[in-house]
Structure 1
Amino acid sequence: MNPPDWSRHAIWWQVYPLGFVGAEQAVTDQPSAAHRLLDLVPWLDYVIGLGASGLALGPVFRSETHGYDTTDYFGVDPRLGTLEDFDTLVAEAHRRGLRILLDGVFNHVGRSFAPFQDVLRTGPASVSAPWFDLEWPEDVLEGDEPTYRDFEGHHHLVALNHGEPEVADFVVEVMQYWLERGADGWRLDAAYAVPSAFWADVTARVRASHPDAYFVGEYIHGDYAAEVGAGGLDSATQYELWKAVWSSLNDANFFELAAALERHNALLASFAPLTFVGNHDVTRIASKLQDPALVAHAVVLLLTLGGTPSIYYGDEQGYRGVKEDRVGGDDDVRPIFPASPADLSPVGAPLLALHQDLIGVRRRHSWLHRATTEVVHLTNEVLVYRVTAAPSDTTPEGPDHLLVALNVSAQEQAVDAAGEGTILAGQAGLGDGRVVLPPQAWAVLA
């Protein structure tokens, strides 16, 4: 795998556009406000100020409801605006040096997707029938509907037949269309539900015309490295690390995180995972953690470990939100945002500053993208790890490295500074070769 060079420096600010702009719950050709996609433009300088280098957009294509039930892959959802609005957003982002990552839902479609509607109208003879996995009644009558494979029991999400060559041709066409309009890459929704051979075929064909494109697959469990390699992808979502971060902080059990870091190292030997502590599908980190004081520790982990970090809009401001397993259960974690950064509450300023400081550290040590981790001190409540540059990033003077120390206990902790003599970030002190961490404190040393 040979990911594009620009991805080595990528830090994403992920936005769920339909929620961000306060769009209607269901598609309408007469939304209450027009050109809402342009509401993101005033936030692009905020993204730069945060230190991120790209905007990772949730679904922007026409859909029935939440964006993941796509019905027109070549049109912008009218609740968001027009193709011209998309072009303006991309142009403004690129003018600032920001990349654009699109969210492609290619495992399933909404029932209003034109080829599926043709199946419902025409029956088994529909030219689109091979696009889906269908079973018809033995004696088909006009108006009969087939049973079909859906996505994880959601009847309104019709699964595509990825063994059908026309489906692959269609996905290639969609990807190329939006890359030619200025997108820089694709997040592949529910990539785990699609055969790797399908991704390998599609990405190879798209790269032939867009060699600088970036592809990250959504994988929740399984052999990430094997899936990335077999699918010709550049990255995969690192859900295992996400779980270990919040779980170990809640339980004061850094042994769980240490085990996850070993797995993370193994992945980094193959690719740079997409790392996160929040996204559009999970409870926000500020709500997931039982102790608000430990949100900073989660951010430290995100921004000092190897991988490609993604920051979910609002997490950098301390937004709260709980995902619930019900209809509308995602709404709380996909909120409307203010009209401009000036309208943000000052309550979030300290956490924003923390993100900026740590992103600054990461920018000055870009080798963290593929850095591996060595645990040098481990108890339930104290973790010290060294992050070291990959061999490909090693200089003649030797590999670069940083030391990160985390204390979640209610007591001051003093641990070996492992030869490091400068505190780059955090609240610790140094003396007699030891780093002194106040209660629930952390530090990054060099």
Structure 2
Amino acid sequence: MTQPLPESKPKKAVVYQVFTRLFGNKVTTNKPWGTIEENGVGKFNDFTDKALSEIKKLGVTHIWYTGVPHHDVIRDYTKYGISNDDPDVVKGRAGSPYAVKDYYNVNPDLAVNPAKRLQEFEALVKRTHANGLKVIIDIVPNHIARNYHSLSNPKGVKDFGANDDTSVEYKRDNNFYYIPGKAFEVPTSDSYKPLNGEKNPLIDGKFKEFPAKWTGNGSRLAKPDINDWYETVKVNYGIKPDGSKDFPELPEGFDKKDFKAHYEFWQGKDVPNSWKKFRDIALYWIAKGVDGFRYDMAEMVPYEFWSYMNSAIKMQDSDAFLLAEVYNPKEYRNYIKLGLMDYLYDKVETYDLLKAVIHGQTLPDPLSDIQSNMTDIEHHMLHFLDNHDEQRLASPAFAGTPEKGKPLMVISATISTSPTMIYFGQEVGEPGNEDAGFGKPTRTSIFDYIGVPHHQRWMNGGKFDGGQLSESEKALRDFYARLLNFTINSSAMMGKYQEIQTVNRNETKEYDPGLYSFVRWDNKEKLIVIANCSWVTTSHVDLIVPEDVIQKWNLNDGDYKVTDQLYNHETSTLEVKDGRGIIKVKIKPSESFIFKL
């Protein structure tokens, strides 16, 4: 008789965000506003089996290839049938990945042979899968490039806006909002000139668009402000200009229903044209082997649309990884439970709090309340300390050194069951020091051709062996590999959490203000985590494991050996007496321990 296979246990996911254009670039010139010839550019083919296997060894489960869809670039690809993009409505020289020009193809900069760019990406997807990793790419649903024009539409698919009635501001099945009777005007600024003022035949302060469309961030001006997302136009999802909804709404109780019920609900419903367009775009990429999406500014799009699209995606791939950029905590549950998002950015709570802690602006104690308040959705709140939008963790504007970021990383990666994300170069201490042109220091530019120095030292000319890293950079990468691999292999990381911060803050002598502690456990593992966010104080602490935890762990009075799981060289003893536990801990500045019973 055949025995049924044991069910696979869920485990932590770790997302490695990589800015695809920058990853494989070996050129170190780094001239502000430099061209491809001057500053270089990475390609899909730079993600070799060796590169991918080394990323996998870091403890990664998913790669988010950022900037893959074909967006505006200032480079002549006309011999491939691609129109030139107007610098008056492009940010930087390499262009913003969030001004997509063709959703059915990929950025020609990323291909060795731009004529075969889609095939080169498809090969990358297969290579990534062969190395045991899953693929995530961007979908930017709220806005597209002003000059959107697809060369690659499948048969029967028309471009956004092709059938719009441009005589009115709003019509439900228009793809855009219009400013009837007015032409678009390029925004002006005394402090900014396209391409830093260099001559270009298309730079004339004009861009032909009549009537003008609403700008991506919602500006309704024919001449948007220079700080608006003027290079993009807002997509219409059936939200009227007064904010009311012009589409079917989900019935009561759908926050408790699965994707199959959501999918069934939308069958036969009359929905706005933009909904269908983006659903078809997503399913196109799923069919090419993409395993999930990161949705840009998802909260600017109604969650009913997400129910419609995400349920369709899940019907094709129930394991698809759907990550959304949402910053309004009041809307988290709507986008998770009604919009069917798997994960949202935990930016405005966990990330912002940890940044404030390392700046000395607050104690880490409020982390406990954050976790408590999100008990029902904590698994869905993706944790990160670095990404393309944020200041680099190692930059002077954030932690100041990569070492000071280590305790933040331990807390972020181990406090909940949620996925962890790191940004390429974070694991070797990349500080984002380059003035790239449009992009400025503390962030690695997403608008320019630039090299990423610390990452390039790990890349070592394409060997991907860390051969040029300093000893401290090697040690940092080793720390990340140890931490991330622990999180994806520890069953307790998918188990229960309880803070032990309050009792230690109130009762433990010498409990430094920079310390934070908690426990994680399941029926296989029991973990005690303590991190020292202070970079100046070594603490000698009798760490309390309170009575209720000892009871939940079914521990009798006695001594229990505990061993640190990061480096396995630090051992201590959990002394349980009268139902309360004590561990004597000496913890250095920026040090952390994950003690396993």
TM-score exceeds 0.5? yes
Aligned to 1:63, which of 54, 65, 71? 71
Alignment partner, residue 419 of structure 2: 308
Of 495, 507, 515, which residue of structure 2 is paired with 1:383? Answer: 515
Match of residue 45, structure 1, among 36, 46, 53: 53
Q: In the alignment, which residue of structure 2 is the partner of 1:92?
A: 127
Q: Is the 8 A contact 1:268 1:372 kept in 2?
A: no
Counterpart secondary structure, 2:174:
helix
Is 2:358 the counterpart of 1:232? Answer: no
Counterpart CA distance in 1 for 2:565 and 2:40 is 46
1:332 aligns with 2:444: yes
Is the CA contact (8 Å cut-off) linking 1:116 and 1:128 kept in structure 2?
Answer: no
Where does residue 156 of structure 1 map in the other structure?
231
- 8 Å CA contact 1:406–1:443 kept in 2: the answer is no
- Partner Cα separation in structure 1 for residue 13 and residue 209 of structure 2: 50
The 8 Å contact of residues 182 and 210 in structure 2, kept in 1 or not, is answered as no
What secondary structure does 1:131 align onto? coil
CA contact (8 A) 1:134 1:149 kept: no
Residue 243 of structure 1 pairs with residue 352 of structure 2: yes
Query: 1 CA distance for matches of 2:436 and 2:368?
Result: 29
Match of 1:321 among 432, 445, 450: 432
**Which secondary structure state, in structure 2, belongs to the residue aligned with residue 286 of structure 1?**
coil
Find out whether 1:410 has 2:518 as its counterpart: no
Q: Does 2:307 match 1:171?
A: no
Q: After the TM superposition, which of the residue ranges 176-185 and 164-173 deviates more from structure 2?
A: 164-173
**Cα offset for 1:301?**
1.7
Q: Which residue of 1 aligns with 2:189?
A: none
C-alpha distance after superposition, 1:188-226 (max 9, x if no partner): 111121111111111112222222212111012332233
Q: Identify the match of residue 146 of structure 1 among 194, 212, 220.
A: 212
Q: Give 1:66 deviation, angstroms.
A: 1.9
Q: Post-superposition shift, 1:138?
A: 8.1
**Correspondence for 1:342:** 465
Picking from 463, 483, 490, the partner of 1:358 is 483
Deviation at 1:6, TM superposition (A): 8.9
* CA shift in 2, pair 1:243/1:414, >3 Å: same
Q: What's the secondary structure of 1:86's corresponding residue?
A: helix
Q: In structure 2, the residue corresponding to 1:167 is in which secondary structure?
A: helix
Partner SS, residue 300 of structure 1: helix
Structure 1 window deviating more from structure 2 (332-341 vs 241-250): it is 332-341
User: 1:15 corresponds to which letter in structure 2?
Assistant: V
Instruction: State the distance in 2 between where 1:350 and 1:414 align.
Output: 25
Q: Is the 8 A contact 1:111 1:117 kept in 2?
A: no
Q: State TM-score, norm by structure 2.
A: 0.64
Equivalent pair of 1:320/1:333 in contact (CA under 8 Å): no
Higher RCO, Cα 8 Å, sep 6+: 2
Asked if the contact 2:345/2:381 (under 8 Å) is kept, the reply is: yes
Give the superposition deviation at 1:302.
2.6
- The 2-side partners of 1:344 and 1:295 are apart by 23
Provide the C-alpha distance between the structure 2 equivalents of 1:33 and 1:333, rounded to a whole number of angstroms. 14
Which whole-Å CA distance do the structure 1 matches of 2:589 and 2:69 have between them?
A: 48
CA 1:166/1:325 → structure 2, altered by over 3 Å: closer, same or farther?
farther
Number of paired residues? Answer: 431
**Cα offset, 1:229, TM superposition:** 1.7
CA distance in 2, matches of 1:185, 1:69: 20
Q: Secondary structure at the match of 1:103?
A: strand
Cα 1:110/1:92, change in 2 over 3 Å: same
- Alpha-carbon distance in structure 2 between the residues aligned to 1:329 and 1:175: 32
Cα drift, residue 107 of structure 1: 0.9
Aligned-pair distance for 1:298? 2.0
Instruction: Report the alpha carbon displacement of residue 249 of structure 1 after superposing the two structures with TM.
Output: 1.6
Q: CA distance change for structure 1 residues 229 and 340 in 2, over 3 Å: closer, same or farther?
A: farther
SS at match of 2:108: coil
Equivalent pair of 1:268/1:371 in contact (CA under 8 Å): no
Structure 2 stretches of 5 or more lacking a match?
A: 1-7, 73-94, 112-116, 150-158, 185-207, 219-227, 239-270, 506-510, 546-559, 576-582
Offset of residue 261 of structure 1: 3.7
Q: Please say if residues 16 and 58 of structure 1, whose CA atoms lie closer than 8 Å, have aligned partners that are also in contact.
A: yes
- One-letter code aligned to 1:404: I
Going from structure 1 to structure 2, the CA distance change for 1:313 and 1:370 (only over 3 Å counts) comes to: farther
Tell me how far 1:387 sits from its aligned partner.
3.2
Tell me the C-alpha RMSD between the 2 structures: 3.7
**Structure 1 residues 42-68: Cα deviation after superposition (integer angstroms, max 9, x where no partner):** 420111121111211112011102211
AA in 1 matched with 2:497: T
Alignment check: 8 A CA contact 1:150 1:157 kept? yes
3-state SS, counterpart of residue 274 of structure 1: strand
Structure 2 counterpart of 1:441, which letter?
E
Q: Partner residue of 2:187?
A: none
- Write out per-residue CA displacement over residues 12-39 of structure 1, whole angstroms, 9 at most, x where no aligned residue: 111011232459999x9x9998992111
Q: Which has the higher helix share?
A: 1
Q: Which moved more, 1:293-302 or 1:360-369?
A: 360-369
The 8 Å contact of residues 68 and 109 in structure 1, kept in 2 or not, is answered as: yes
Helix, strand or coil for the counterpart of 2:290?
coil
**8 Å Cα contact 1:308/1:369 also seen in 2:** no
Please state how far the C-alpha of 1:187 moved relative to its aligned partner.
0.7
The range that moved more, 245-254 or 321-330, is 321-330
Q: Deviations over 1:100-120 (max 9, x none)?
A: 111111110001213457589
Structure 1 window deviating more from structure 2 (32-41 vs 369-378): it is 32-41
